[in-house]
Amino acid sequence: MKKYILILGGFFLFITSCTNEVFELPPREPIDACDTLNITYQNKVKQIIDLNCATSGCHDVNSGSGNFTNFNGLKPKLESGFFRSRVLRDKNMPPLGPLPQKTLDDLKCWLEKGYPEN
């Protein structure tokens, strides 16, 4: 430990310094990726749905299993949990195979935020 003595106008000031002390910053809380993403139906999800779900013979306007060509057609499947179950949990939709992990992560974030439209 180093000690310093300063004399200032008749006052003694003792200062000590430890050069072997290491100060560590507290660990940072990880930022949830969903917190930094602004995913809405209009700006991201519609494109995913149009390319993978709302195709001819699947979830289009002629489909009896749900019309995913617009948000209002998709919304009942979101509210019932059907969409989350089939796409994220079971990963049996779309029928050609599961979506890429990044796309699944984006959809999960969107669902966790309450599936905003705009």
Grade residue 13 by pLDDT with cuts at 50, 70 and 90.
low
Predicted local distance difference test score (pLDDT) of residue 7: 57
In a domain, 104, yes or no: yes
- Count how many domains the chain has: 1
Name the more confident of 12 and 66. Answer: 66
In a domain, 82, yes or no: yes
In a domain, 71, yes or no: yes
Q: List, for residues 63-116, the tens digit of each pLDDT value.
A: 778 899 999 999 999 999 999 999 999 988 998 888 999 999 999 999 999 999
In a domain, 15, yes or no: no
In a domain, 12, yes or no: no
The runs of H, that is alpha helices, within the chain are 33-36, 46-52, 71-80, 82-83, 101-112
In a domain, 48, yes or no: yes
How many whole angstroms separate alpha carbon 48 and alpha carbon 87? 12
Phi, psi of 50, deg, nearest 5: -60, -40
pTM equals 0.69
Show the domain range for 91.
Answer: 34-112
